[in-house]
A and B are shown apart, each in its own frame.
Chain A
Amino acid sequence: DTAVSQTPKYLVTQMGNDKSIKCEQNLGHDTMYWYKQDSKKFLKIMFSYNNKELIINETVPNRFSPKSPDKAHLNLHINSLELGDSAVYFCASSQASGANVLTFGAGSRLTVL
């Protein structure tokens, strides 16, 4: 059983298109995150949600819109894709109380042509 699953794993699309990445966790965690990993492997947090409430919204273009229909799901929708959006996007989850150890999904590699 995959703890944090993301779909799709690979996504190739044209500039200007709109795309979504889905994330689901079956760990019973109450907090979910989106991280972006650039071509130099640097990981930066984009958003965090706790019990479906947006907690962190880092400096991310408003073309990126997270949506959390319930505690187990956090989807990422991206409008008007740009070349610079090409990256690997990681979903993660944790329990907000305690040490907050994050469990990561396998990543979704987005390529914008």
Chain B
Amino acid sequence: AQSVTQLDSQVPVFEEAPVELRCNYSSSVSVYLFWYVQYPNQGLQLLLKYLSGSTLVKGINGFEAEFNKSQTSFHLRKPSVHISDTAEYFCAVRGGSGGGADGLTFGKGTHLIIQP
């Protein structure tokens, strides 16, 4: 079984400042890792994913994340945030080598608050 821990429930950041949202996972098998974003009153949108290969993954809206196997982490970063980045961010994990209908296990979410 897999689990995901998002260490911060809320992160306030000033506009144009950098941000890092932390995510740690637990799994006994190899994993696929994801970050989703949920804007207010909307569904979840995929930001980026790590499947294999390069540990630095680039996503939409200027976000990137780094997979660190030794630290079992997949932290999300953005060098300069905008007001429009205010949203809930979810880290998710899927274990195994692919296939199946297991879905994703989500962390509890981090609310990113951008202050002007």
Contacts and interface: CB of A to CB of B under 8 A. Distances in A.
Nearest to B105: A45
Interface in A28-81: 31, 33, 35, 40-45, 48-50, 55-56
Interface residues of A, number: 30
A97 B98 contact: yes
Given A100-B94, A105-B43, A106-B43, A31 B101 contact: yes
Contacts, number: 77
Interface of B: 32, 34, 36, 38, 42-46, 49, 51, 88, 90, 94, 98-106, 108-109, 111
Top 7 A-B pairs ranked by shortest CB distance?
A50-B101, A55-B101, A104-B44, A106-B43, A43-B106, A104-B43, A31-B101
Interface of A: 4, 31, 33, 35, 40-45, 48-50, 55-56, 90, 92, 94, 96-107
